[in-house]
Structure 1
Amino acid sequence: MRAQQHGPRIWEEPPPSRIHGLSARTILAIHRVERLSGDYYVFPGATARALRRYQAFLQPPGRRPLYPQDAHCSCSGCSFDDVRHARDVLEEVLQRLPFRARAELKHQVTALDAVYLDRTLPDPFADRRQWRVDLWWHRRLTVGGETM
């Protein structure tokens, strides 16, 4: 019996976003995690968006301190206005990735974390102000809007 001929493969959704510095295998693993996640904030493309946001926040040259801002809206798009939310998304994805993909993404995130720690100031009263005090990136000073 002959094998059935199928037409051209048609994608029901766009291919995963390219993430600079990550292998195709890791990008596919990230895409799989994003698609299968039940989390409102982890959706296809969220990891790439979170990485871009984290990098953009740390981009300004100089030694002046940076201050994260609260998002004015909690929808899945606007919430990335808060760089701490972008870091939350990265952490969520890291926890769900297989070992090799996790190590590759973690390498990029760790480098950004070092800059974040260097460019932001600790908040001595974070345990009274923040609801996510268990996450170190929420224990940094914020002042209204982001200033650079």
Structure 2
Amino acid sequence: MEKLSGDYYVYPGATDRALRRYRSFLEPPGRKPRYPQNSQCCCRGCSFDDVRHARDVLADVLQQLPARARGELRRHVARLDDTYRARTLPDPFADRRPWRSDRWWRRRLAAGRDSG
């Protein structure tokens, strides 16, 4: 699927990279909130500095996968999503932001660097 995707950010190995990035953001122990960071640039490599981009890639991959593989990945991502919701805070001003994302993970408070 990755090879056949026409999406610039979905390339061979992108799903693995996105899962690893999502997991690594959520791994630090503790209960302190985590704040996603913005990436320094939007190239294929640097864009994964922003965990929200990794989650975007996973969403795009989920739309393109066949049913069986989609179900398996969806279950795995859902567990990570639960942790992400628990470890990040909602952005109370998300509706006022100029980007107004429809993706819930982009409607969480962010910082300049991944931090907790």
Relative to the length of structure 1, the TM-score reads: 0.76
SS of residue matched to 1:35: coil
Question: Is the partner of 1:34 in helix, strand or coil?
Answer: coil
Q: Report Cα offsets for 1:39-83 as digits up to 9, x if no partner.
A: 110000000000000000000001000000000110011000000
- Label 1:91 to 1:130 Cα distance change in 2 as closer, same or farther (>3 A): farther
Q: Could you say which residue in structure 1 is the equivalent of 2:50? A: 82
Unaligned runs of 5+ in 2: none
Whether 1:131 and 2:105 are equivalent positions in the alignment is: no
Q: Which amino acid aligns with 1:81?
A: D
Q: Percent identity?
A: 67
**RMSD of aligned residue pairs (Cα, Å):** 1.0
Indicate if the aligned counterparts of 1:130 and 1:138 stay in contact, CA closer than 8 A.
no
1:145 aligned onto 2:76: no
Q: How many residues are matched?
A: 116
Question: Structure 1: which 5+ runs fail to align?
Answer: 1-32
Q: SS at the partner of 2:11?
A: coil
> Are the structure 2 counterparts of residues 93 and 60 from structure 1 closer, same or farther at C-alpha, using a change threshold of 3 Å?
same
Confirm or deny: 8 A CA contact 1:67 1:145 kept in the other structure: yes
User: Whole-Å Cα distance in 2 between the matches of residues 127 and 146 of structure 1?
Assistant: 23
